[in-house]
Amino acid sequence: MTKNKIGKQTLVFNNKPKIISACSIVGVKEGQGPMNTWFDRILEDDTFGEKTWEKSESKMLKEAIVTALNKSGKEKTQIDSILSGDLLNQLMSSAFMARDLQIPFIGLYGACSTMAESLLMGSVFIDGGYGSNIIAGASSHYCTAERQFRLPLEHGNQRPPSAQWTATAAGAFVLSDEKNYGEEPMLIERPMGHELNPKSVINVKKDICVTHGTLGKIIDTGLKDANQMGAAMAPAFVDTVLNHLEDTKRNITDYDLILSGDLGNIGKQIAIDLLKDAGLNQKDLIDRYDDCGSMMYEQEQDVHAGGSGCGCSASIFTGYVYKRMKKGEIKRALLVSTGALLSTISPFQGESIPGIAHGICVEIC
Amino acid sequence: MTKNKIGKQTLVFNNKPKIISACSIVGVKEGQGPMNTWFDRILEDDTFGEKTWEKSESKMLKEAIVTALNKSGKEKTQIDSILSGDLLNQLMSSAFMARDLQIPFIGLYGACSTMAESLLMGSVFIDGGYGSNIIAGASSHYCTAERQFRLPLEHGNQRPPSAQWTATAAGAFVLSDEKNYGEEPMLIERPMGHELNPKSVINVKKDICVTHGTLGKIIDTGLKDANQMGAAMAPAFVDTVLNHLEDTKRNITDYDLILSGDLGNIGKQIAIDLLKDAGLNQKDLIDRYDDCGSMMYEQEQDVHAGGSGCGCSASIFTGYVYKRMKKGEIKRALLVSTGALLSTISPFQGESIPGIAHGICVEIC
């Protein structure tokens, strides 16, 4: 057993990489949802002034990264590398974002699990002394995802009740090997009618660090319906949570919050059932477990089974979770982004949907 | 400056992660090329018995990984994680490979730079104590790449003289924190007519380790012609090499071999010109620099500007370089895989081609 690994799948970050800043940006629909007071910026227009959806998404990711960088008080030249990914073929959002920033770039693909994957890999870099300041990010956009994975928006196709809505959202964290002693300028830009909820203003400043990362393995239960993503990913989430608890010898009651990335309303219920079957106390679970996809939209917003996409957990981790931790309201959280590693053509070749989930433990330190 | 980083872009692996085994598998055309005696396995049929090209590629990658694992003498349960990527949308080859193996999986996307990216990230894991045994791999397939990035093969389109041929090839390394004291079974399967060249048989057993990794940043010179990939990537290769030399305070004469991943014949010449312009001695350079894409095929094989694809550098690093190092014929090599981070749609949106190159220093230790 190596010094920074415990159990089968969990890495331990003994040097406790600090999360010194974060930024969340979401689209119009996400800005109308129940989480809207937690985001740093809500777009007035999902095109973000660009001529193609892909460029809109790339600009949104870049804005999240640059804003997180500005909030961190670091200079661009102090950033050792950017670890980032998205859902687009060949990581188009991330590649064009990184081109503009001229910082060494590591492209990651974990489908919607990418935010936890980038945070995990970034923590390895900081904890191991391979960098002092690392940016971890991820994004997704409803319009790029629909076009790429389903049908162009112009087609106006109907969505089944089990379908999820890819969040138009991006998030970025700055990880550092030293605490951020400066004041964090909030830099919140919000359109008219979305005034900031005083609850989301950070007045108590806690230091937040990443203590563990649990690498996910692929779980594929043979499900082939690409409109049942939550069901396809739930077993991978459950596998990662159970491995995390076993490796760390902890109980779920050791956490104030356990989040899955984008199981949605159906997948969340399956995850609860599976975790209950695995012996976890249902009340303890329901008290602290939620899903970013379920949190993102109101029932009335007509997104059917909830939100999805890399940006879903990216924006909720960097918005809601980060700010509540910064305020001291959450002391320890297990953040598990979930991904469905199907490709644009694998379903047409008769393949089922491989699920994956990477977990990160963050706590006030 | 952190303990394991020197200069601007280079990581130092003080614990010297060992490469304890490797496997290279190539397709029919690659098996007819000048490198053929160095590969572990040459397919008799590029379908590899599968019904779709994507499944053929995934099976080839899995075979490379399983063979490298078997050669290493490790059990599957001793492998901490697989870091792998390919050119397919949503990393289809890697995802379905990892599904079958049930080992924690980190998906990487660096276009054709993925072999160096996975080797670099794997070395970080081993060096930092985040795992004892890690598999790093990458693959590409001519038929999946043509279909995805250009036109279906059935179309029979003409290729311009500057076009490169995506290699049907896969490679995998097993990295470890301890030396491999066992005998390495060679497990070479070769079809009739491709008898093994005695030169490629490993009789002297040297230990090989990874000492440095230089992270690449994106360089985009504005080139938009997707049939000029070598020209698009050459500046990124040059940037990474110059940064590596500056960070490590070394000269090119400190290396027995410097390889670029897949610049091809045109990109290789551009790289030589740019490195000469940067002040490197041309003779020193020509004595030790080559390109995997140029090495892969004979002029007579009608591939125009040479080979490309993740599998190109993956198979030559794991075949030619690994075996020559194992035999003690190369003592220190700088391996730089090069990637063009365009997407399947970015050229249609008027975008130029972002290039990236990640470098790895391997030496006998």
Q: Percent of chain A at pLDDT above 70?
A: 93
How far is B12 from B123, CA to CA, in rounded Å? 10
- Whether the Cβ atoms of residue A60 and residue A138 lie closer than 8 Å to each other: no
CATH code linked to domain A5-200 = 3.40.47.40
Q: Residue A157 above 90 pLDDT? A: no
Query: At which residue do the structure tokens 């550098």 appear?
Result: B313
pLDDT, residue A213, reads 98
- Token pair for A63: 């804005």
Q: How far is CA A245 from the centre of its chain?
A: 20
- Whether the Cβ atoms of residue B206 and residue B322 lie closer than 8 Å to each other: no
Beta bridge partners of B336: B260, B359
- Summarize the confidence of residues B256-279 as an average pLDDT: 98
pLDDT, residue B197, reads 62
- Amino acid identity of B130? Y
- Whether the Cβ atoms of residue B61 and residue B86 lie closer than 8 Å to each other: yes
> Inter-chain contact B5–A129, Cβ cutoff 8 Å?
yes
> Inter-chain contact B349–A52, Cβ cutoff 8 Å?
yes
Alpha helices in chain B (DSSP H): 28-31, 53-72, 92-101, 114-127, 142-149, 229-248, 264-277, 282-288, 292-296, 310-316, 322-326
> Inter-chain contact B109–A109, Cβ cutoff 8 Å?
yes
The answer to whether the B5-200 and B210-364 domains have the same CATH topology is yes
pLDDT, residue B261, reads 98
pLDDT, residue A187, reads 44
How far is A236 from B46, CA to CA, in rounded Å? 33
Interface test with B, best of A130, A135, A149, A349 (most B CBs within 10 A): A130
- Whether the Cβ atoms of residue A126 and residue A176 lie closer than 8 Å to each other: yes
**Predicted confidence band of residue A152 (pLDDT cuts 50, 70, 90):** confident
Q: Where are the domains of chain A?
A: 5-200, 208-364
Class of domain B210-364: alpha beta
Q: Residue B6 above 50 pLDDT? A: yes
pLDDT, residue B187, reads 44
Digit-coded pLDDT (tens) for B273-320: 999 999 999 999 999 999 999 999 999 999 999 999 999 999 999 999
> Inter-chain contact B130–A104, Cβ cutoff 8 Å?
no
- Whether the Cβ atoms of residue B81 and residue B58 lie closer than 8 Å to each other: no
pLDDT, residue B205, reads 75
Interface test with A, best of B90, B140, B212 (most A CBs within 10 A): B90
Of A1, A128, A215, the CB nearest to B4: A128
Digit-coded pLDDT (tens) for A210-246: 999 999 999 999 999 989 999 999 999 999 999 999 9
Q: What are all long-range contacts of B280-285, with beta carbons under 8 Å and residues at least 24 apart?
A: B280/B252, B281/B252, B284/B251, B284/B252, B284/B253, B285/B252, B285/B258
**Predicted confidence band of residue B151 (pLDDT cuts 50, 70, 90):** confident
User: B74 contacts in A (CB within 8 Å)?
Assistant: none
ipTM over 0.85: yes
CA distances from A275 to A158, A214, A240, A284 (A): 33, 17, 11, 11
Digit-coded pLDDT (tens) for B60-99: 999 999 999 999 999 999 999 999 999 999 999 999 999 9
How far is A247 from A260, CA to CA, in rounded Å? 19
Digit-coded pLDDT (tens) for B191-239: 555 556 656 666 567 899 999 999 999 999 999 998 999 999 999 999 9
DSSP per position, B135-170: EEEEEE-HHHHHHHHS--GGG-----TT--EE--EE
- Whether the Cβ atoms of residue A244 and residue A359 lie closer than 8 Å to each other: yes
A58: nearest CA partner in chain B:
B346
Choose among A307, A278, A303, A277: nearest CA to A291. Answer: A307
- Summarize the confidence of residues A140-153 as an average pLDDT: 93
What are residue B165's phi and psi, to 5 degrees? Answer: -105, 115
Of B102, B111, B220, the CB nearest to A90: B111
Digit-coded pLDDT (tens) for A31-68: 999 999 999 999 999 999 999 999 999 999 999 999 99
pLDDT, residue B181, reads 56
User: A80 contacts in B (CB within 8 Å)?
Assistant: 2, 5, 215
Beta bridge partners of A340: A355
How far is A265 from A269, CA to CA, in rounded Å? 6
User: B353 contacts in A (CB within 8 Å)?
Assistant: none
Q: Residue A184 above 70 pLDDT? A: no
Fold type of domain A208-364: Peroxisomal Thiolase; Chain A, domain 1 (3.40.47)
